[in-house]
Structure 1
Amino acid sequence: MARMTEIRGRTLHRRRSTAPLMAGVPLALVLAATPASGDVSGVVEEGVQARAAAAAVAAAPAWASDVADGFASVDALGQDGTYGGRGGRTVTVRTQADLEKYATAAEPYVIVVAAAIDINPVGREIRVASDKTIVGSGTSGQIVGGGFFLGEGVHNVIIRNLTIRDTYQGTWNDKDHDFDAVQMDGAHHVWIDHNNLRSMADGLIDSRKDTTYVTVSWNRLSNNNKAFGIGWTENVTADLTIHHNWFQEVEQRNPSADNIAHAHLYNNYLEDVAGTGINSSYGNYARGRTKMVLENSYFQGFRNPVQKDGTAALVQRGNVFSGTSGRNESGGTAFDPKSYYDYTLDAAADVPSVVRSGTGPRSTIGTTAAAASATTLTVAKDGSGQYTTVQAAVNAVPANNPSRVVIAVRPGTYRELVKVPSNKPHVTIRGTGGSRNDTVIVYNNAAGTQKPDGSGTYGTSGSATVAVEADDFQARNLTITNDFDEARNQSLSGHQAVALRTAADKVFLDSVIVNGDQDTLLLDTAAKDRPGRVYLTNSYVTGNVDFVFGRATAVIDRSVLTLKKRWDGSSGGYVTAPSTAANRKGFLINRSTVNGDVSASSFYLGRPWHAGGDAALDPQTTVRESTLSAAIKSTPWTDMSGFSWKDDRFAEYRNTGPGSGAASSNRPHLTDSQAAGQEVAVWLGDWTPTAS
């Protein structure tokens, strides 16, 4: 129970027990880990679909019963924790008028934002009344050009799973445009969770004028001057919990806590990326008479990561500081957070990966029961699953399925061709082994391979071991290989051999290996006029000639591109061959590594592929903040099929390693201002890849 001497005479209780999720693991991954019910290999497709439909009807979405943790869970001021509009009507809104109608209503509402709502006038902060949940529907809920305001006495409010963005008018500290994402003046019991907050004119979050019993969790706060300010009062009454947030490229107030009675900060990730236009001035700041406990957070590249006034108390425990400089302070006696609520700490070393993968909007929050409940189909070669091949499981996914289907593939080598057709979206293929090497999908077709029916050859795109034509596809923890043997097939015309082809939008590839030689990874779109965004992270791609190619808008993030020798033992090749349409974004290789056991100065970073001789294309590859081995040529770009790379878009930014080099006419580098427009978030736009 709480110690009454520390809570200023208010009667507080710990929150009522709720079923906890695994720390740092998104809800969808927890659901996906649950085996599907029913028979094993004898299950027929109709039975699977029937059970999935019944489960969807029977189960309410998990997010509907979620309640706050931290100080927002504490019973006080006549409010029993924070549960928002639960118990009230659930309404779906797609316009500003409807959002304001329900947000300002006297009765409780669960307000599901199911579209990007443009706020007029820019900067308008929509007033929110008590007993409201405002939640984005999956990753589609956005507030563009405005925010929310919670005034004096407003309580029991949840703001969750939204992207709130873009009131920034071009000038930091612009008092003529004092626009916040979420501003609270005298509110209490507020939970701000799993949001993406960025590019606002003033603060991303302002908690002012004795606002108290607030929890801010699992949010991404980025690309802003002022992230999160707390206080602006002479009273020392506010209690706040701030955990598992990603503060990225934010200059100040990360947060700044002024006269806060109890500020508990844990497992936050503060990242300042070197060489960008936004430079941190400080990280966590305890001011006035604040009492702050700071635990197991990770500070990357921040200046003055932790600082305190002489009047403040700040206790540090278990934090990690990497590449930081300046003030890092602590001192005084604060408080014991466990006197108020239970919580579990993640290891500080794990915080960057846990927070990167877990912050921001989730596809499983704010959706209907059918969408939130992922169906799981199991594949095992030995017959212990529902299916013995991956393609059989894909075939069992109902056409136009409205919700996520996870195909859990047990360890083994599956020599087969897999195609996910365009009418089967929301499919995840996930290896269940301890390593991505444990589950392998492999085949050996090449462009010149004859089809079994005698109708001709496969061609480059048709050679793919795995072909993905459905939107919102994910692959995780597995290997996809094309093991076509060039040495044994020299007489064959057409040695392009694709391992993975994507021709869809919102393709998320996480912790995979994509193996091949020539044309390993084809990142395409369904049609020239269709978008095709791909996000590949924590992965490996191997090859030698144009082994990442196509017209998609694709990010290769924090991954390894491994260069291989040719079939005859010679070194030489090209990493990328983009065929980007004009006015679209091409390939962005970010914070990755390019290496391999090949000769020095033998590989180009890329060349322009004008598919079909189309001069209207404008191929693009940017390689930034990556490590380049000595295999990369000092002039890393080259022409292709009569088209000059200098007429297209090829550039580097702040790369390192023996294969990097100074800017020149043959090696263009982005300026800092140009680089600010070529970042991961810019490439992906309104899509936040979410593991599910």
Structure 2
Amino acid sequence: MSIILHFITLCSFIILANAASSIAVSRSINDTTERRNLGFLSCGTGNPIDDCWRCEDNWQRNRKRLADCAIGFGYNAIGGRDGKYYIVTSPADDDAVTPQSGTLRHAVIQDEPLWIVFKTNMTITLKQELIMNSFKTIDARGVDVHIAYGAGITIQYVTNIIIHGLHIHDCVPTGNALVRSSPYHFGWRTMADGDGISLFGASHVWIDHNSLANCSDGLIDAVIGSTAITISNNYFTNHNEVILLGHSDTYVRDKVMQVTVAYNHFGEGLVQRMPRCRHGYFHVVNNDYMHWEMYAIGGSANPTINSQGNRFVAPDNPNAKEVTKRVISEGMSDWNWRSDGDLMLNGAYFNQSGAGEAASYAKASSLSAQPSSVVDSLTSGAGVLTCRRGRQC
């Protein structure tokens, strides 16, 4: 009981501190470090993101606490924490230029920070890409929200985005149409590939606890200099090219890219790109890889990949046991790919490479890895959570 009282007091202090702060792009590293040290409040999974907020029975009264729980390279993503709540009341998406109030499209294009929630269960079929504005959180906890059978979500040249608790599936190509991106601007969009979530030149983005499957192109793509990204606690199934991180081998601006891929479950029906990386620094930590048909982690153009504490279960196909795949172009061979504490099952093996430069791996580390033996517990809540009022999620 004393621990619970201590927790409530501590949460109240954090809420008051956040309320008194002004809108900012990032929090200080010291504040983040102090928050990470609250591990003794664990609800039992050992997952530091979930243990930061899922302990609360009244999570719905303090939704914005979620913004204080990011880890990894995207830890500074505060989304709409410092703004008002916006309640989506309608699944309609009839007009991409003049969206009606109460729709998701109307919410995400606003200029001010917003924490976006949903009144009820709904399936939203987007006629065109959902182009987001900066400082937005999409928070679907407590309801069942599907982005399906239409366009996906586009995060383009904006910052501070949190996407949490969505079912994203069966996205299809759209485009050659006018689409609004702010209250004051709309423009012509060419054809989109049909990704679930696309990042172009975006920063401070956190994609957490979503369930993604079966889109026309990638489930999550981050390109054109996107950086400071965390992809965590998601459940991926039934898809070919799962996650792409980096635009092309010749697009050297992607050297700024830093991405954390943590606590995700890669499940049935997946083929490749979990993720596929170019140029930047990538921390792949404590994920559960239960299926792939070609490979799990791939790359080209000299990425540094730090794979730590993952569980890799190879398929029965004797020709697909290797976790990694490299596409090597002329003059591109300075690889730094490391497997540290990974659990290899059913014949899985990781082809390490590079000189093991300590500085490179340090830069590609974004949080402390836990032993691969506890991956099952860390990823037990991956995907969309079942959250009910008055109960822990």
> TM-score when scaled to structure 2?
0.71
- The residue that corresponds to 2:18 in the other structure is none
Helix, strand or coil for the counterpart of 1:358?
A: coil
Q: Deviations over 1:658-689 (max 9, x none)?
A: xxxxxxxxxxxxxxxxxxxxxxxxxxxxxxxx
- The residue that corresponds to 1:283 in the other structure is 296
Which amino acid is 1:240 matched to? V
1:360 aligns with 2:383: yes
Which amino acid is 2:122 matched to? A
Helix, strand or coil for the counterpart of 1:263?
A: strand
Which amino acid is 1:110 matched to? W
How is 1:458-497 mapped onto 2 (pairs within 5 angstroms)? none
The counterpart of 1:101, out of the listed 101, 106, 109, is 106
Q: Kindly tell me the number of residue pairs found equivalent between the two proteins.
A: 313
How far, CA to CA, are the matches of 1:101 and 1:70 in structure 2?
30
CA contact (8 A) 2:141 2:164 kept: no
Of the two structures, which has the highest relative contact order with CA contacts closer than 8 Å and spacing of 6 or more? 2
How far, CA to CA, are the matches of 2:312 and 2:356 in structure 1?
23
Q: 1:30 to 1:346 in 2, by over 3 A?
A: farther
Shift of 1:210: 0.8
CA contact (8 A) 1:295 1:316 kept: yes
CA contact (8 A) 1:71 1:239 kept: yes
Which amino acid is 1:286 matched to? G
Q: Deviations over 1:554-600 (max 9, x none)?
A: xxxxxxxxxxxxxxxxxxxxxxxxxxxxxxxxxxxxxxxxxxxxxxx
Shift of 1:327: 6.2
- The residue that corresponds to 1:271 in the other structure is 290
- The residue that corresponds to 2:373 in the other structure is 349
How is 1:239-388 mapped onto 2 (pairs within 5 angstroms)? 239-248=258-267, 249-260=269-280, 262-272=281-291, 280-302=293-315, 303=320, 304-308=322-326, 309=328, 310-325=333-348, 328-334=351-357, 335=359, 343-355=367-379, 357-364=380-387, 371=389
CA contact (8 A) 1:220 1:247 kept: yes
Which amino acid is 2:145 matched to? G
- The residue that corresponds to 2:84 in the other structure is 89
How is 1:53-202 mapped onto 2 (pairs within 5 angstroms)? 60-61=62-63, 63-73=65-75, 81-93=76-88, 94-97=90-93, 98-113=103-118, 114-121=120-127, 124-145=128-149, 146-152=151-157, 154-167=158-171, 178-202=193-217
Q: 1:67 to 1:15 in 2, by over 3 A?
A: farther
Q: 1:212 to 1:66 in 2, by over 3 A?
A: same
Shift of 1:13: 6.0
Shift of 1:82: 1.2
Q: Deviations over 1:290-326 (max 9, x none)?
A: 1111101011125221234433211220001111457
How far, CA to CA, are the matches of 1:107 and 1:117 in structure 2?
25
Shift of 1:147: 1.7
Of structures 1 and 2, the larger Rg is shown by 1
Which amino acid is 2:386 matched to? S
Q: 1:307 to 1:189 in 2, by over 3 A?
A: same
Shift of 1:130: 0.4
Question: RMSD in angstroms over aligned alpha carbons?
Answer: 3.0
How is 1:4-83 mapped onto 2 (pairs within 5 angstroms)? 14=29, 16-17=31-32, 18=35, 19-20=38-39, 22=42, 23-24=46-47, 26-27=50-51, 30-31=55-56, 60-61=62-63, 63-73=65-75, 81-83=76-78
Q: 1:226 to 1:339 in 2, by over 3 A?
A: closer
Q: 1:133 to 1:106 in 2, by over 3 A?
A: same
Q: Deviations over 1:8-41 (max 9, x none)?
A: xxx9963623245632274586347xxxxxxxxx
Q: Which runs of 5+ in 1 are unaligned?
A: 1-10, 33-54, 74-80, 170-175, 273-278, 372-402, 405-690
Q: Which runs of 5+ in 2 are unaligned?
A: 1-25, 94-102, 174-190
CA contact (8 A) 1:184 1:211 kept: yes
How far, CA to CA, are the matches of 1:29 and 1:177 in structure 2?
36
Shift of 1:341: 7.6
How far, CA to CA, are the matches of 1:290 and 1:144 in structure 2?
33
Shift of 1:89: 1.1
Q: Deviations over 1:79-125 (max 9, x none)?
A: xx21000121111213244101110111111111342233143xx32
Shift of 1:350: 2.1
Q: 1:339 to 1:252 in 2, by over 3 A?
A: closer
Shift of 1:197: 0.8
CA contact (8 A) 2:237 2:270 kept: yes
CA contact (8 A) 1:225 1:252 kept: yes
Which amino acid is 2:303 matched to? T
Helix, strand or coil for the counterpart of 1:129?
A: coil
CA contact (8 A) 2:126 2:147 kept: no
Which amino acid is 2:124 matched to? D
CA contact (8 A) 1:241 1:263 kept: yes
How far, CA to CA, are the matches of 1:65 and 1:313 in structure 2?
32
Q: 1:158 to 1:259 in 2, by over 3 A?
A: same
Shift of 1:221: 1.2
How far, CA to CA, are the matches of 2:335 and 2:270 in structure 1?
23
Q: 1:286 to 1:69 in 2, by over 3 A?
A: same
Shift of 1:234: 2.2
Helix, strand or coil for the counterpart of 2:219?
A: strand
Q: Bigger CA drift: 291-300 or 60-69? A: 60-69
How far, CA to CA, are the matches of 1:56 and 1:288 in structure 2?
43
How far, CA to CA, are the matches of 2:27 and 2:56 in structure 1?
33
Q: 1:141 to 1:297 in 2, by over 3 A?
A: same
Helix, strand or coil for the counterpart of 1:299?
A: strand
CA contact (8 A) 1:67 1:83 kept: no
How far, CA to CA, are the matches of 1:259 and 1:183 in structure 2?
18
Helix, strand or coil for the counterpart of 2:74?
A: helix
Shift of 1:184: 0.4
How far, CA to CA, are the matches of 1:101 and 1:345 in structure 2?
39
CA contact (8 A) 1:138 1:361 kept: no
CA contact (8 A) 1:164 1:196 kept: yes
Q: 1:353 to 1:361 in 2, by over 3 A?
A: same
CA contact (8 A) 2:233 2:382 kept: yes
CA contact (8 A) 1:181 1:200 kept: yes
CA contact (8 A) 1:315 1:330 kept: yes
CA contact (8 A) 1:177 1:201 kept: no
